[in-house]
Chain A
Amino acid sequence: MLEIKNLHARVAETGTEILRGVDLTVKPGEIAAIMGPNGSGKSTLSYIISGREDYEVTEGDILYNGESILEMDPAERAAAGVFLAFQYPLEIPGVATMTFLRTALNSQRKARGEAELTTPEFMRRVKDAAGELKIDFNMLKRPLNVGFSGGEKKRAEILQMSLLEPKLCVMDETDSGLDIDALRIVADGVNALRAPERAFLVITHYQRLLEHIVPDTVHVLYKGRIIRTGGKELALELEANGYADVIGEAA
């Protein structure tokens, strides 16, 4: 479903190279965890998959369902099924959350040649999804993410994810800022979305999240490259010994 091949990327403005040859394959239905110390390039990778313009791909390719997506803009990628749950979701004053959700949902439907949702149908879906994630519906009457707590923002990202029903879900440190109860709620939400045709790229620092969202594969990203790949036991090993051993081996 996702094939990242020898991906090199740099910051467009400064030319600083961040990804130095990432290779990664994720199959449909797979949950792939990406771990790695701060500054390894995990968020950068997630941004590049979703098409952020701040970065420039200098070498390699990203194939999604067999086709390169590098020429697609973020909206086109989203309509094709790519979703990024941001590490730091943005507050956008003046944009009503409901207007945003509706516009996003209908834009994607339109891009896929589907009919717009009726207002009652849209409301029902939002209410259901909010209920599952224990999000107070009144919160959604506010401008997008404005005044949400850190945990609320993360839950709102998952709410968007479940409404948009993407095929490739990239989650960037969704666990940070969540207490243990919220973590369970979010994990339940993610697990409910698991499906044979849907893949997840779960970026995290901690084994904690992976106890709830059990990965099929675990990849360690360090200094812009995947330095180790393994099964879920790799996450346990990292939890026990830290990154030093893995980094040492790779060096």
Chain B
Amino acid sequence: MSVTAPSRAFSQAEQSLVDRAAAALMRSAAGNSERQNALSMLKQEGLPSRRTEAWHYTDLRNLLGRVGSAGTGAPAGDADILAPLLPNGHVVEIGAATDVNPLAGVTVQQVDKLPEWKTALNHLDREFDTIRLLSVAFGAKATKIDVAAGETPGGSIELRAEPSASGSHTYAICDVGDEAKAVFVERLSATSAGSLATSVADLKIGDGAEVLWIVDQEKGAGETHLSQFNVTLGKDAKLLLFVLNAGGGLVRSEVHAITEGEGAEIRIRGVNLLKEGQHVDVTTTLNHLVPNTTATETFRNVVTGGQGVFQGMIRVSQDAQKTDAKMACNSLLLSDDGGFSAKPELEIFADDVQCGHGATAGEIDADHLFYLMSRGIPERQARALLVRAFVDEVVEEIDDEPVVEALEARIDRWLEAHG
């Protein structure tokens, strides 16, 4: 093994992360050179700090080991067999799935493939992509899932990681063929305190195909989770991505979308529920490369403590005329102890486009509260109704009753415990 020197003094948490990656590689039988390369880079460069623009609000070097490493992992009872999020869900364990044909039209294969980490998807990252680098250095396990062209599987595909105490590293490669319709659920559930997990998903949506992709992140308060969801959309392809962050200690959810075909439509909706001690970062880039594509993105954040971050970039290339892209990030601040930073950005090189963004942060509307209370609803309950209303508005934009119900049930669970 080649010895790589750190480019600077590493923090203790950083060093221990590197050591963990190195030890994991030693244990693994396969001598994978790509993994070795990534590890060398990690040993040399470590983690990004706030000086790297993409990580400015989430100084990984500084936060790792300080935020979200103590506390609980799985809440008691939750470690039991988890039912699929959606009534008709089929669980695919990434890196371990054995059922090659869980649903008609769906094929699942274990593949020996690692994410490509040498180019940063977010141009504001370092020379390489931080999350993918970690994913490769830790030897992510990969599974490829194909939905055949024209197929509409009779159930959702629920992606899960193999339980791992130190943290799982998964790579899902999903290919949805032309005119197919598929529903994916990424279930990121609590494991053990102190774990660091990564999940990378690459989704390709074929021409005229439609995907509903739901991320349900409910990690334990003592866990770190770094995820990256990459999607390319073909002609007239549709994506509805719903991200629920209702757990985790130190969390980064990256979303990078690229429209490759005209008529593509992206809808991103998300809810971030934050409590004391958490740091949750959602960073998205929407890259419009071709004309006539649309994107709408709305995040609603409920902050009872902790720190939230939203970085939303809409990038429209010179050819991408008639792009219509909007993003919004609204935070409900329920306590002075928490905060939420929103950084929307537009980078537009085409002249005939409609792009916009808005960020708001506020408390519960006193007039609304008075109205509800004047009908006899006690304050606590009235507040809960208003908080729920604030998030349900985005959930209900998913025009699918069982999905809305399932998500609202997860959200209610959180609100009852922390709201």
Contact = CB atoms under 8 A, between A and B. Distances in A.
B376 A108 contact: yes
A250 interface: no
Contacts of B391: 94
B379 A73 contact: yes
A78 interface: yes
Contact of B379 (A75, A83, A92, A105): A75
A90 B367 CA distance: 8
A100 B379 contact: no
A94 B392 contact: yes
Contacts of B379: 73, 75
Interface stretch (B198-206, B240-248, B381-389): B381-389
Contact of B389 (A73, A84, A95, A108): A95
Contacts of B393: 93-94
Contact of B368 (A86, A90, A103): A90
Contact of B381 (A50, A78, A107, A160): A107
Contacts of B366: 53-54
Q: Secondary structure at chain B's binding surface: helix, strand, loop or mixed?
A: helix
B390 interface: yes
Contacts, number: 79
Interface string B343-380: 00000000000000000000000111011111111110
B377 A92 contact: no
B392 A74 contact: no
Nearest to A86: B371
A79 B298 CA distance: 38
A182 interface: no
Contact of A75 (B378, B392, B396): B378
Nearest to B391: A94
Interface string A174-200: 000000000000000000000000000
B386 A74 contact: no
Given A103-B381, A107-B378, A53 B370 contact: yes
Nearest to B394: A94
* Cβ-closest 4 pairs across A and B: A94-B389, A78-B376, A104-B375, A108-B376
Interface of A: 50-54, 73-75, 77-79, 83-84, 86, 89-90, 92-95, 99-100, 103-105, 107-108, 111, 143, 160, 164
